[in-house]
């Protein structure tokens, strides 16, 4: 029976042009979204490399200056920018702390449109002032991006719905159900076989078109494991939707009702659940107010400023160049400046830390909520695979903060030792290297999806609906 | 005949359990959405009032201080929420609500809510605009997809034709029966929102006129959807296919087109990265007058000019503190640089808007979204308006501080301190958002696009019903 089913199904799909239509649609959707994703990644890479190149060029100029200074020559730049001063290096020659795209970055925009991908921390100024958000038009953030994740999470289920909603009901409507009922196979098993065959064909089409699109777009080495995981996720998610279609096919009766039910499910899983969960999360665990945090910081800053003034003439605090250029000022301005900055930093740290902890709690709660909805699980996993999830940007931020500290510490050592920065020190300047976090939750996600799908199918076999009780042929 | 069809169809809809369930779900969701938004709105505004008062107090009680030090200490401008943000949150989530105002620098609004939230937030919130823009069109599809196809499928079409019914009357009856419930749901929602908002005290000025304008926009949007859905239903043979087709239109208009538009807009007219933007500004700044660099060429030129104007030969003889004067001139120059660079951003966005308008040809969602946000004062335009007002206030504040410095101290006297009462003389920052009239004028093109959609879709629908 299975063999008959297989051959009949293939013929049917080919003759009704479903396979042809789906291939074209999938190629178009995957193609367009991959182009979008790739162009974003390329822009990101170009931005970073331009920034790095600029640093390289100013470094060359800096080394030349250093050379002149070391040879005792006169230089024609403002005195506070001469790189023999370690603070001049720290402020005017910052390094690029860049978050290079991961090999699979093109599959999901995730939070990539919201956050910046490179930052140049300097020695003066405080870390809280580092702005990690990117300059993007908010309309773009609101609408989101047409990326591969969107196609997989939102559109693929709709294709599945269109492909499966009338497997059983069309037999009834065409009058071939009686014929089918006379076959030596239970109807549920028959529907299951038929859906699994469709799942097989759709999987094949999805795999082929994805591979074709990715090959055309160009694959980096080491990317194949990522592509395999991507396919695995997509297939597990598809299986979930086929399982839902299986239930609807055996429990609901007419084609139109099937379609409506499946679409309702789609609306619930893809549109409503995420937004409801998001709202629940925000209501139960509100995001701490930034406005109130600013208030608190301002009050503390006022106090810190007073203490700062004891260390430093308040005017000079804001204008180091004055202290350095003005011969009447003592030369060790930066010693005191760095000390006073530390005062502010220590004063504000508890507030920032308190805020961050509260935020962390809120976010980890949101993270737990995702397991309720397969849609969110897939979206999150795809973003993780692409290295564009919230966690990745949090990780990057942490690394940049650490690097900023390292940069400051390295150069203040020169400052406090009163040793000038020289050409030979150039090579030992701290460099930033982004370390991507490894996460295994992608495999957990696949397992969870598989489990849900199996449970749903099991439910379909175990429970008798109204139609089964009455008998499928009765009207 | 129109009325008869209308009553028959309405009765049929009422008797359908799924329709009743769908309506109940939508109404419950709307209720929750309005309730949550109202709470958030109240919360945010309370925080806003607290923050604004506290910030002013910090500013007023600075004690004796050099005015320029105070300018670096700076102050904050907070953006309030407006009453109609209850209906449409627009891009508020993606924009910061506080701008730090200091000397030498125009800062952007900081701390957007989206940056503090997880990826979950990017799916969207359960707010009235989400339901108005996405879910109600789906409800229209659910109610109307089989409006004509069922007559074919049940065989009543032949019957109807034998009655000599004028097709357009019949079609208008069906149209009305679909329009009426949708209109009622929307009207009730807006009425409740209006009552809720007019009862909230102290928060912004709520105007029924704006709410009505928004209501009209949404009704227009639904008319377009009703026309499209009924057109599909009239043209297609089977209910299932009509449903799938209608849904494809919905996905294309509400999900795919906006996303594709955003990708296109970005590739064609990209914003600079934050670092590039900052680098461009500092490059321009280096070339011009810097209030803090008395050794630069520009400073020397300014010095000579001022000396010549006053007919003296040393800056010590000037009737004011030249340091303060130069600081103010530098500030003005820097403000111009910022003006230029922020204008570039605005231009880029204007061009992006054209891309969105272009794609409105395939998506009535786009003009509706933009109009709704604009009327709710939660769009990018309003944010620009606020940020420009804050910048104006910043420039005025700097002038206030620098002038005091220049008038009341002598050249080289950096230890000058203003009285502790001085800070209170700085006027408060007050911001008036654009009014409905100017909003409508600046979004006229979206209104036109929506109008063309309504007229075109309606006439195509009516013309096709002739040939059913």
State whether A135 and B295 contact (CB < 8 Å).
no
State whether B50 and A110 contact (CB < 8 Å).
no
Do B68 and B325 touch, CB atoms closer than 8 A? no
ipTM above 0.95, yes or no: no
Q: How far is B257 from chain A (nearest CA, A)?
A: 9
> What is d(CA B112, CA B119) in angstroms, rounded to the nearest whole number?
14
> What is d(CA A51, CA A100) in angstroms, rounded to the nearest whole number?
12
Those residues whose C-beta lies under 8 Å from the C-beta of residue B152, and which sit 6 or more positions away, are B237
Domain residue spans of chain B: 2-465
Looking at the domain assignment, is residue A332 inside a domain? no
Do B375 and B210 touch, CB atoms closer than 8 A? yes
Secondary structure class of A97 (helix, strand, coil): strand
Q: Kindly indicate the confidence band of residue B183, based on its pLDDT and cuts at 50, 70 and 90.
A: very high
Q: Is the pLDDT of residue A56 over 80?
A: yes
> Could you tell me if B380 lies within 8 Å of chain A, comparing CB atoms?
yes
pLDDT in tens, A386-422: 888 888 888 898 899 889 888 888 888 887 777 788 8
**DSSP notation for A1-34:** -HHHHHHHHHHHHHHTTHHHHHHHHHHHHHHHHH
Q: For position A468, what pLDDT does the model report?
A: 60
Looking at the domain assignment, is residue A434 inside a domain? yes
> What is d(CA A182, CA A443) in angstroms, rounded to the nearest whole number?
43
Q: CB pairs below 8 Å between A and B: how many?
A: 228
Nearest chain B residue to A145 by CA distance is: B259
State whether B58 and A299 contact (CB < 8 Å).
yes
State whether A255 and B72 contact (CB < 8 Å).
no
Contacts of A155 in chain B (CB under 8 A): 251, 256
State whether B243 and A256 contact (CB < 8 Å).
yes
Residue A241: alpha-carbon gap to chain centroid:
24
State whether B123 and A274 contact (CB < 8 Å).
yes
Nearest chain B residue to A272 by CA distance is: B126
Do B110 and B96 touch, CB atoms closer than 8 A? yes
Contacts of B265 in chain A (CB under 8 A): 137, 139-140
Q: How far is A223 from chain B (nearest CA, A)?
A: 24
Looking at the domain assignment, is residue A355 inside a domain? no
Nearest chain B residue to A34 by CA distance is: B263
Looking at the domain assignment, is residue A321 inside a domain? no
Q: How many residues does chain A have?
A: 475
Percent of chain A at pLDDT above 70?
88
Q: Kindly indicate the confidence band of residue B86, based on its pLDDT and cuts at 50, 70 and 90.
A: confident
Q: For position B320, what pLDDT does the model report?
A: 75
Q: Is the pLDDT of residue A330 over 50?
A: no
Give the residue among B100, B122, B126 at the shortest CA–CA distance from B113.
B122
Give the residue among B385, B458, B397, B456 at the shortest CA–CA distance from B426.
B397
Please give the average per-residue pLDDT across A348-372, as a whole number.
80
pLDDT in tens, B289-338: 666 666 677 777 777 777 777 777 777 777 777 777 777 888 888 888 88
Query: Which secondary structure element, helix H or strand E, spans residue B78, and what is its range?
Result: strand B75-78
Nearest chain A residue to B263 by CA distance is: A145
Residue B381: alpha-carbon gap to chain centroid:
6
Task: State the DSSP code for B296.
Answer: S
**CA distances to A166, A183, A246, B342 from A10, in Å:** 16, 19, 19, 59
Q: Kindly indicate the confidence band of residue B213, based on its pLDDT and cuts at 50, 70 and 90.
A: very high
Residue showing tokens 């799942």 = A199
Q: Kindly indicate the confidence band of residue A133, based on its pLDDT and cuts at 50, 70 and 90.
A: confident
Q: How far is B353 from chain A (nearest CA, A)?
A: 9
Give the residue among B208, B204, B41 at the shortest CA–CA distance from B128.
B41
Q: Kindly indicate the confidence band of residue A12, based on its pLDDT and cuts at 50, 70 and 90.
A: confident
Looking at the domain assignment, is residue A185 inside a domain? yes
Q: Is the pLDDT of residue B50 over 50?
A: yes
Looking at the domain assignment, is residue A213 inside a domain? yes
Instruction: Give the least confident one: A228-237, B54-63, B186-195.
Output: B54-63
- Which member of B73, B76, B247 has the closest CB to residue A294? B76
Contacts of B119 in chain A (CB under 8 A): 110-111, 379-380, 383, 389-390
State whether A290 and B126 contact (CB < 8 Å).
no
State whether A376 and B262 contact (CB < 8 Å).
no
Contacts of B349 in chain A (CB under 8 A): 137, 139
Q: Provide the domain count of chain A.
A: 1
Q: Is the pLDDT of residue A279 over 50?
A: yes
Burial class (CB in 10 A: 0-12, 13-18, 19+), B415: exposed
Task: State the DSSP code for A85.
Answer: S
Residue numbers of B between 30 and 69 with CB closer than 8 Å to A: 36, 39, 43, 47-48, 50-51, 54-55, 58, 62, 65-66, 68-69
Q: For position A126, what pLDDT does the model report?
A: 65
Q: Kindly indicate the confidence band of residue B230, based on its pLDDT and cuts at 50, 70 and 90.
A: very high
Nearest chain A residue to B78 by CA distance is: A291
Q: For position A328, what pLDDT does the model report?
A: 44
Please give the average per-residue pLDDT across A423-447, as a whole number.
85
**DSSP notation for A23-65:** HHHHHHHHHHHHHHHHHHHHHHHHHHHHHHHHHHHHHHHHHHH
State whether A116 and B274 contact (CB < 8 Å).
yes
CA dihedral A60, A63, A69, A74 (to 10 degrees): 0
State whether B97 and A291 contact (CB < 8 Å).
yes
State whether A135 and B243 contact (CB < 8 Å).
no
Nearest chain B residue to A97 by CA distance is: B275
> What is the pTM for the complete model shown?
0.87
Q: How far is B166 from chain A (nearest CA, A)?
A: 28
pLDDT in tens, A134-159: 888 889 889 988 999 999 999 999 88
Those residues whose C-beta lies under 8 Å from the C-beta of residue A265, and which sit 6 or more positions away, are A244, A248
- Which member of A116, A287, A318 has the closest CB to residue B69? A318
pLDDT in tens, B127-176: 889 889 998 999 899 888 888 888 888 888 777 777 777 778 888 888 98
- Going A7 to A13 to A17 to A18, the CA torsion angle's sign is negative
> What is d(CA B306, CA B271) in angstroms, rounded to the nearest whole number?
40
Q: Domain of A96?
A: 1-276+392-475
State whether A131 and B119 contact (CB < 8 Å).
no
State whether A294 and B98 contact (CB < 8 Å).
yes
Instruction: Give the least confident one: A107-111, A177-181, A242-246.
Output: A177-181
Contacts of B243 in chain A (CB under 8 A): 256, 259-260, 263
Give the residue among A279, A228, A284, A273 at the shortest CA–CA distance from A379.
A273
Count of CB atoms situated within 10 Å of the CB of B22 = 18
Nearest chain A residue to B110 by CA distance is: A131
Residue showing tokens 């604004």 = B52
- Which member of B39, B118, B240 has the closest CB to residue A255? B240
> What is d(CA A360, CA A182) in angstroms, rounded to the nearest whole number?
61
State whether B262 and A143 contact (CB < 8 Å).
yes
Task: Name the average pLDDT for chain A.
Answer: 82
**DSSP notation for B307-365:** HHHHT-SSGGGSSS-HHHHHHHHHHHHHHHHHHHHHHHHHHHHHHHHHHHHHHTTT-TH
Do B345 and A140 touch, CB atoms closer than 8 A? no
Q: Kindly indicate the confidence band of residue B454, based on its pLDDT and cuts at 50, 70 and 90.
A: very high
Q: Count, in order, helices (H) and strands (E) of chain B.
A: 19, 3
Q: Is the pLDDT of residue B432 over 50?
A: yes
> What is d(CA A372, CA A384) in angstroms, rounded to the nearest whole number?
18
Helices marked H in B163-273: 167-199, 208-235, 239-250, 257-268
Q: Kindly indicate the confidence band of residue A332, based on its pLDDT and cuts at 50, 70 and 90.
A: low
> What is d(CA B298, CA B107) in angstroms, rounded to the nearest whole number?
25
> Could you tell me if B208 lies within 8 Å of chain A, comparing CB atoms?
no
> What is d(CA B432, CA B61) in angstroms, rounded to the nearest whole number?
27
Q: How far is A336 from chain B (nearest CA, A)?
A: 17
In chain B, what is the straight-line distance between the N-terminal and C-terminal CA atoms, in Å?
A: 17
pLDDT in tens, A115-125: 988 988 888 76
Q: Is the pLDDT of residue B366 over 90?
A: yes
Q: For position A331, what pLDDT does the model report?
A: 46
> What is d(CA B77, CA B386) in angstroms, rounded to the nearest whole number?
9
State whether A116 and B97 contact (CB < 8 Å).
no
State whether B111 and A290 contact (CB < 8 Å).
yes
> Could you tell me if B230 lies within 8 Å of chain A, comparing CB atoms?
no
Looking at the domain assignment, is residue A230 inside a domain? yes
What phi-psi label fits residue A427: left (phi over 0), alpha (psi between -120 and 50 degrees) or beta? Answer: alpha
Q: For position A329, what pLDDT does the model report?
A: 46
Mutant choice from A32, A50, A291 vs B, greatest count of B C-beta within 10 A: A291
**CA distances to A90, A192, A249, A251 from A460, in Å:** 66, 9, 10, 8
At A294, list the tokens: 């600013």
Q: Is the pLDDT of residue A247 over 80?
A: yes
Q: Kindly indicate the confidence band of residue A298, based on its pLDDT and cuts at 50, 70 and 90.
A: confident
**CA distances to A32, A153, A199, A206 from A156, in Å:** 14, 6, 12, 9
At A64, list the tokens: 């030349």
Contacts of A119 in chain B (CB under 8 A): 275
> What is d(CA A190, CA B345) in angstroms, rounded to the nearest whole number?
60
């Amino acid at each position: 029976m299975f063999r008959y089913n297989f051959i009949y199904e293939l013929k049917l799909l080919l003759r009704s042009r479903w396979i042809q239509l789906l291939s074209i649609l999938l190629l178009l959707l995957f193609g367009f979204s991959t182009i979008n994703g790739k162009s974003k990644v390329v822009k990101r890479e170009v931005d970073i490399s331009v920034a790095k190149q600029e640093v390289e060029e100013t470094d060359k100029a800096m080394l030349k200056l250093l050379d002149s200074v070391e040879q005792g020559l006169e230089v024609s730049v403002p005195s506070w920018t001469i790189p023999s001063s370690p603070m001049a290096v720290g402020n005017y020659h910052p390094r690029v702390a860049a978050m290079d795209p991961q090999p699979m970055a093109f599959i999901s925009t995730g939070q990539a449109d919201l956050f910046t991908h490179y930052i140049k921390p300097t020695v003066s100024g405080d870390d809280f002032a580092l702005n990690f958000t990117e300059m993007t038009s908010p309309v773009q953030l609101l609408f989101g991006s047409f990326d591969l994740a969107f196609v997989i999470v939102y559109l693929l289920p709709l294709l599945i719905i269109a492909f499966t909603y009338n497997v059983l009901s069309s037999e009834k409507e065409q009058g071939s159900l009686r014929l089918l009922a006379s076959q030596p196979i239970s109807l549920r098993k028959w529907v299951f076989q038929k859906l699994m065959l469709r799942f097989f064909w759709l999987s094949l089409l999805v795999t082929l078109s994805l591979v074709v699109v990715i090959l055309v777009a160009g694959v980096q080495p080491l990317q194949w494991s990522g592509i395999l995981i991507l396919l695995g996720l997509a297939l597990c998610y598809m299986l979930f939707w086929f399982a839902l279609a299986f239930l609807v096919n055996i429990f609901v009766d007419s084609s139109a009702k099937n379609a409506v039910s499946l679409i309702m499910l789609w609306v619930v899983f893809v549109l409503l659940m995420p937004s409801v969960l998001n709202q629940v999360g925000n209501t139960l665990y509100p995001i701490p107010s930034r406005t109130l945090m600013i208030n608190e910081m301002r009050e503390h800053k006022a106090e810190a400023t007073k203490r700062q003034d004891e260390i430093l003439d308040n005017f000079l605090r804001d204008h180091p160049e004055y202290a350095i250029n003005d011969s009447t000022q003592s030369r060790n301005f930066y010693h005191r400046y760095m000390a006073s900055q530390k005062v502010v930093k220590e004063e504000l740290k508890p507030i920032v830390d308190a805020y961050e902890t509260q935020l962390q709690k809120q976010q980890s709660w949101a993270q737990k909520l995702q397991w309720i909805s397969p849609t969110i699980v897939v979206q999150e996993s795809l973003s993780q695979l692409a290295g564009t999830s919230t966690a990745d940007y949090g990780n990057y931020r942490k690394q940049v903060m650490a690097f900023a500290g390292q940069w400051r510490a390295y150069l203040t050592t020169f400052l406090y030792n009163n040793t000038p920065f020289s050409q030979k020190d150039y090579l030992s300047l701290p460099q930033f290297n982004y370390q991507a976090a490894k996460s295994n939750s992608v495999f957990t996600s696949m397992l969870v999806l598989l489990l849900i799908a199996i449970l749903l199918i099991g439910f379909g076999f175990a429970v008798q609906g109204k139609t089964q009780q009455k008998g499928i042929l009765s009207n | 005949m129109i009325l008869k069809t209308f009553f028959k169809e309405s009765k049929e809809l009422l008797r359908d359990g799924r329709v009743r369930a769908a309506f109940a779900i939508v109404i419950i969701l709307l209720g929750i959405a309005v309730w949550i938004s109202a709470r958030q709105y109240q919360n945010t505004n309370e925080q806003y009032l607290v923050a604004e008062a506290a910030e002013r107090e910090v500013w007023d009680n600075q004690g004796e201080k050099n005015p320029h030090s105070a300018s670096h200490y700076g102050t904050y401008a907070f953006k309030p929420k407006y009453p109609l943000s209850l209906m449409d949150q627009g891009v508020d989530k993606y924009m910061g609500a506080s701008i730090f105002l200091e000397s030498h620098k125009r800062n952007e609004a900081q701390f957007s809510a989206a940056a503090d939230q997880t990826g979950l937030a990017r799916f969207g919130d359960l707010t009235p605009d989400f339901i108005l823009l996405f879910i109600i069109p789906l409800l229209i599809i659910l109610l109307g997809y089989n409006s004509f196809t069922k007559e074919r499928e049940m065989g009543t079409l032949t019957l109807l034709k034998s009655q000599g019914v004028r097709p357009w009357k019949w079609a208008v009856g069906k149209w009305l029966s679909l329009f009426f419930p949708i209109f009622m749901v929307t009207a009730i929602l807006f009425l409740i929102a209006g009552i809720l908002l007019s009862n909230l005290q102290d928060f912004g000025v709520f105007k029924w006129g704006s709410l009505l304008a928004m209501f009209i926009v949404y009704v227009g949007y639904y008319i377009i959807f009703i026309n499209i859905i009924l057109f599909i239903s009239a043209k297609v043979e089977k209910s299932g296919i009509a449903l799938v087709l209608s849904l494809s239109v919905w996905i294309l208009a509400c999900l795919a087109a906006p996303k594709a538009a955003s990708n296109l807009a970005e590739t064609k007219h990209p914003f600079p990265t934050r670092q590039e933007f900052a680098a461009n500004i500092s490059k321009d700044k280096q070339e011009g007058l810097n209030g803090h660099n008395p050794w630069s060429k520009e400073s020397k030129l300014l010095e000579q000019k001022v000396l010549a104007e006053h007919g003296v030969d040393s800056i010590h003889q000037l009737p004011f503190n030249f340091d303060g004067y130069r600081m103010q001139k530098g500030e003005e120059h820097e403000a111009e640089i910022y003006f230029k660079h922020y204008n570039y951003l605005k231009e880029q966005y204007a061009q992006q808007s054209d891309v969105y308008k272009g794609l409105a040809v395939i998506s009535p969602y786009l003009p509706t979204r933009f109009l709704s946000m604009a009327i709710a004062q939660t769009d990018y335009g309003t944010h620009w308006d606020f940020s420009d007002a804050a910048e104006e206030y910043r420039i005025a504040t700097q002038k206030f501080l620098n002038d005091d410095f220049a008038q009341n101290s002598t050249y080289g006297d950096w230890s000058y301190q203003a009285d502790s009462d001085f800070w209170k003389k700085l006027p408060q920052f007050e911001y008036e958002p654009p009014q409905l009239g100017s909003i409508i004028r600046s979004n006229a093109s979206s209104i036109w696009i929506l109008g063309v959609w309504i007229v075109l879709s309606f006439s195509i629908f009516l013309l096709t019903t002739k040939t059913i």
